[in-house]
Amino acid sequence: MAEGPVEKGIARGNLPPLELYVPEPKYRPGDVVDYSHLPVPPAGLLARPDETCPASETWPLTLDMVRVLDDDDHAVGAWNPGLDPETLRRMLRTMALTRAFDDRLYRSQRQGKTSFYMKCTGEEAISVACAMALAGDDMVFPSYRQQGILISRGYPLVDMVNQIYSNRADPLKGRQLPIMYSAKDYGFFSISGNLATQFPQAVGWAMASAIKGDTRIATAFIGEGSSAEGDFHAAMTFAAVYNAPVVLHVVNNQWAISSFSGFAGAERTTFAARATGYGIAGLRVDGNDALAVYAAMEWAANRARANQGPTLIEHFTYRAEGHSTSDDPSAYRSAQEREEWPLGDPIMRLKKHLIALGEWSEEQQEAMDRELVEQVKVATKEAEKNGILGHGMHHPFHTMFEDVFEELPWHLEEQAAQAMRERGIKWPEWKERDDA
């Protein structure tokens, strides 16, 4: 053992100096993009294990990729869910409606009608197909790109816009950031800006459902960057130990704002492979293939309902646009990435599949898109009657003190009265609105 004080920075013998590795994305602004390094297996090759199989039988699937739609737009292989044309058209319509909604509300933000918006362009198949594979009363713990689940479940578009505008008809009374919906009656838990919290919440809800002998399962979504949070691992541990009836999704869209997926561990292995370390079932899925997403969600949901425990699903996809309206992706990634993405666009792929089946046409698609744009326009115009950002048409000021206690305590009553009095003195024009 060495004696005396340690001399810092002195090399010992012939040992090389230590080096810290910092992940770096392959492409930066201005770079030519070449995805030839990215393994994209042919569709239809992977076997579909029985839903009650040992978790270990799924582990090879965590390193591969479940794909159903092939290059000729046909559904092939054991994972083909065999959906009828009417269901496929409904899926396509809901995905297209989600995109039309995003496009309209993005423009609303740019027009100053709301402060903030986040689109899910390129990820519509994940939310919509998963929602369609779930039972309507299963509980969803979403991240902020799962608006397609609410739309799939028939939540009114006007209420979504009211929440985004934080106006007087906002069902959340202005207490949440725009796009952070909450809809208990639709099995849609409050979206949180704190990342990864929904994973332990979903596992806890699923455990409670099992304790009560219920038949409902839970499911939760996070981005791949959030999988580096401690909440992810706590949730995985509880899910594995208590065999919770839950399906956990990691949406790997390659970017966590400006940090690429390597910072969350993507260079070492897949995100789905983390299921192996916890001894639970895992699947890695082509997230731009709506049929593959549906099949994986259906498989995992059936497994959970059969008391076979949790499943971790990685959806391999691409965030086609910025992280939010506050983000400029051209500052950190090549503009070619979106165009060169080898898994294509989820709406385009499902449309081409329906056309290949003889159940759809380009003319029908164009007509439907026009109809959906008009539907969203009508909803936003109706919501705007209740106010937009900065107009003053909000819930009465006193509501900021409500909905925590069944009966407001005396000290909060005093605070509310004082706040209302001071507000009336400083802004007399607001008093009439508050009193209305």
Shared domain check, 403 and 377: no
- Classify the C-alpha dihedral 238-242-248-254 as positive or negative: positive
Q: Is residue 3 part of a domain?
A: no
Model-level pTM greater than 0.75? yes
Q: Is residue 427 part of a domain?
A: yes
Q: What are 37-68's pLDDT values in tens digits?
A: 999 999 999 999 999 999 999 999 999 999 99
User: What pLDDT score was predicted for residue 12?
Assistant: 73
| Counted domains in the chain | 2
Q: Are strands 246-252 and 218-223 parallel, antiparallel or unpaired?
A: parallel
Q: Is residue 390 part of a domain?
A: no
Residue 352: which domain range?
Answer: 35-384
Start-to-end CA span in the chain (Å): 80
Look at residue 5 and tell me whether its pLDDT is greater than 70: no
Q: Is residue 19 part of a domain?
A: no
Shared domain check, 405 and 341: no
Apex 393 CA angle, 401 and 172, nearest 5: 45
User: What pLDDT score was predicted for residue 427?
Assistant: 79
- Mean pLDDT for the chain? 94
Looking at residue 18, what DSSP letter applies? P
Shared domain check, 421 and 326: no
Shared domain check, 84 and 170: yes
Question: Taking a C-beta distance cutoff of 8 angstroms, is the pair 125, 96 a contact?
Answer: no
Q: Are strands 218-223 and 139-141 parallel, antiparallel or unpaired?
A: parallel
Give the sheet arrangement for strand 281-286, strand by strand: 139-141, 218-223, 246-252, 311-316, 281-286
Q: Is residue 203 part of a domain?
A: yes
Shared domain check, 207 and 125: yes
Shared domain check, 377 and 340: yes
Look at residue 430 and tell me whether its pLDDT is greater than 80: no
Q: Is residue 68 part of a domain?
A: yes
Q: What are 104-149's pLDDT values in tens digits?
A: 999 999 999 999 999 999 999 999 999 999 999 999 999 999 999 9
Shared domain check, 179 and 91: yes
Residues 6+ apart with CB under 8 A from 25: 260, 262, 333
Length of the chain: 436
Give buried/exposed letters for 304-340 (b at 16+ CB in 10 A, else e).
beeebbbbbbbbbbbbbbbbbbebebeebbbebbbee
